[in-house]
Amino acid sequence: MSKPATPPAISHYENFPVASWLCPPHLRPPIAAIYHFARTADDLADEGDAPAAQRLQDLQTYGADLAACAQGIPHSGRWKAVFDPLGPLIHGFALPVPLLADLLEAFRQDVQYTASARRYDSDHELLDYCSRSANPVGRLLLHLYGVHDERSLAQSDQICTALQLINFWQDLSLDLPRQRWYPSRAAMQHHGVTDADLLTDRPCVAAADLIASYTRAARAMMLNGAGLCQQVPGRAGWELRLVVQGGLRILDKIEHMHCESWRRRVKLARYDLPVLLWRAWRMT
């Protein structure tokens, strides 16, 4: 079997560095396979001009191929680059297939919400979505690192949900014009924010307060989970430290722009790397 390509990062999987030089070499193939599985499914849900019904049908076929791989039977062959390497790795590393299936369920939800212009009524609903769209990635990685205790899994969920939320608040200026609304109706109502407030390039105190409350919550989640860095062994622990600090750095940048991220997207740059390395080292 040929070795899968080793991408440097996943983002919203892009917020998850995978298969990098910090990753133990023997884990690079399964991590890269998980990346390609998630990235391809995300593209099916979000890229191109296909109608929602076609996207949902493609995701259903994709899920059937996952089930075939898990059972050791032939898949459709449509996504050979994904499932040819993934199948043997599922069995070789005993990958928890329900976690991969949870990711697909989140992608289906994305399609359905976008197509119907549906919104999250509460932050509880938003967090429930994150439990499928982000948390499975962290749990899959912990499985590969041999970390299975409940406390570590809970910390991983905190980190992964925080990363997903940070991605939402980072990308407001891109998502909202595409009718992808992640601020919940309840939170917007609580802060007195209207849709128009978030669809303009003007300052808005109420909208900034809304985003500030969300960034504070994401920061608290990240810090609650950060102790996991001490539990993940070797170079993977260092990679996790950089993941945590990368998310916190994005929050710094959002707060530096007065939490007006619906106006402009912030991102990490090369000059942030020394800051991330210093902060990661201090976590030891």
Question: What stretches in the chain show pLDDT beneath 50?
Answer: 1-13, 15-19
CA atoms within 13 Å, Cβ hemisphere of 36: 23
| CATH of the domain spanning 121-284, picked from 3.30.465.10, 2.40.50.140, 1.10.600.10, 2.60.120.280 | 1.10.600.10
Looking at residue 179, what is its pLDDT?
A: 87
Would you give the end-to-end CA distance of the chain in angstroms?
A: 38
Write down the pTM of the prediction.
0.90
Whether the ω angle into residue 148 lies within 30 degrees of 0, i.e. cis, is no
Where exactly does CATH 1.10.600.10 map onto the chain?
Answer: 7-118, 121-284
Secondary structure of residue 60 in the 3-state scheme = helix
Question: Yes or no: is domain 7-118 CATH 3.30.70.20?
Answer: no
Contact between 137 and 13 (Cβ < 8 Å): yes
Kindly state the tokens that stand for 141. Answer: 């990685």
pLDDT at 12: 44
Peptide bond into 12 cis (omega under 30): yes
pLDDT digits (tens, 9 = 90+) for 150-173: 999 999 999 999 999 999 999 999
pLDDT of residue 20: 58
pLDDT at 219: 98
